[in-house]
A and B are shown apart, each in its own frame.
Chain A
Amino acid sequence: MLSQSAKDGFDTLLMQSLKTSLTPSGEESGVMVIAAEDAEAIADSQIVVLTVSSYLFRAMVMFYFTPNADTRAHFARLNHLELDAMSEQTFMDAIAEGGNLCCGILNRDLGNFFPHIGMSTPNVIDKQCASYLQKLNCEHIQHFAVEMPQSPRFYVSLCVSTYADIDFEVDANAAASETGELELF
């Protein structure tokens, strides 16, 4: 059973990590992460999926994307790469790394509440898989839209399955100020 406070906590932490990980440097001021209604309306073609797990819950984060020119330009800016020099593999790696970075921050922040926690590596699946999210027996599903001035709108879905009563509270203001460097190990 996931309390409302815990649901809000998961949402807040993911929104913070999305802002930090998906925004190219210098464009932070115009970034907005807002709740979105339905995954069916999302027109993207593929999904990068990652899982953050503990023995109490698993949180699956899905980043929707379409491998087009706008998306390529965004990830080139995000990774300080020349657009023309970005191969298909570099592009896919950059998208996966974006998801990796975002979930790494989420994993670190959730570690403040759950001492034993782990994170998967990213995988790419077809967007049509998103029609079957209810098959994952999730107690909490929330979609988000990330809006940036010079980039396409990105959608993200958070699905949380629980295996025990979970209740924790995230101070949104404190979470906003803790956007330090992510320790990679």
Chain B
Amino acid sequence: MSTMVNQMLFLLVGVLLSGLPLLWLLRRRVVRMRDMVGKEQVNLLQHNVQEVLAQQQEGFAAQQQELEALRHENDQRLASTQRETETVVAQLSAKNSTNFARVLENCDASQETITNLLGLMRTFERWHDDMNVLIQHNREMHRKNDEFALIVNQVIIVALNASIEAARAGSHGRGFAVVASEVRDLAQRAEKLSKSYRSNLYQNDLITTTTFQDLQAGGKMIIGAITGLDLINKKTKEALALAA
């Protein structure tokens, strides 16, 4: 009897032990089922998503079209700008070529003027030759004045001798003494004039020489400046030839 009761108890405990996890699993499935969305709800959601997607696709297509139109417009504008730029570049290039040609022409004209100016050298040489003639002329005047001074000295001596001779002749020589005295006065004036003339000739030598030297040096200064210009002009021409 007791064995039967025990078996019954074991059976009961066994049923209880196996039924409890089953019960727990059932309750969990019920809770999960309660959390799940209904099928209609899912369909609605799907429909909504498809609508939004379709709307977005339409918007995207419109934007793409708009972008395409914009791109086309920009391409046209770019082509137009390129054409305009090419025209401006061509115009500028033509103008540049004209200017280049004009500058080269001016360089050539300057070169010709410079070459002509360098011919001034001949004028300076002529002045130098003229100075040599003048100096030679002054030397000749010095020589003649020295000779004149010698003659005047001689006349003074002769007048002095005449005065002595007149004094020897006594009362007969009185008239002659007056003449001798006059001659001596004239000779002394002539001597004074000769000395003054000599002084003027030396001044003339100094002023003539230094003035002509100034002309000559000034000429060299001008030729130096023109040669500098010539060099600059040639360098400009070379630079233009390289740039052309």
Contact = CB atoms under 8 A, between A and B. Distances in A.
Interface string A114-147: 0011111101011011111101100000000000
A128 B202 contact: yes
A121 B219 CA distance: 12
A120 B220 CA distance: 8
Contacts of A128: 202
Contact of B217 (A58, A126, A133): A58
A23 interface: no
B93 interface: no
B219 A118 contact: yes
A132 B213 contact: no
Contacts of A116: 221, 224-225
Given A131-B202, A135-B203, A118 B217 contact: yes
Contact of B206 (A53, A58, A119, A125): A125
Interface size bracket, B side = 20 to 34
A170 B72 CA distance: 76
A158 interface: no
Interface in B197-229: 199, 202-203, 205-207, 209-210, 212-214, 216-225
A129 B214 contact: no
A156 interface: no
A51 B202 contact: no
Interface residues on A, range: 20 to 34
Contacts of A129: 202-203, 205-206, 209
A46 to B, nearest CB: 11
A132 B220 contact: no
B135 interface: yes
Contacts of B209: 49, 123, 125, 129
A52 B213 CA distance: 8
Contact of A133 (B206, B216, B222): B206
Contact of A58 (B207, B214, B220): B214
B237 interface: no
B128 interface: yes
B205 A126 contact: yes
Contacts of B207: 132, 135-136
A7 to B, nearest CB: 19
A130 B203 CA distance: 9
B218 A118 contact: yes
Interface of B: 128, 135, 199, 202-203, 205-207, 209-210, 212-214, 216-225
Which 6 pairs across A and B sit closest by C-beta, in order of nearness?
A: A118-B220, A118-B221, A53-B217, A120-B213, A51-B213, A129-B206
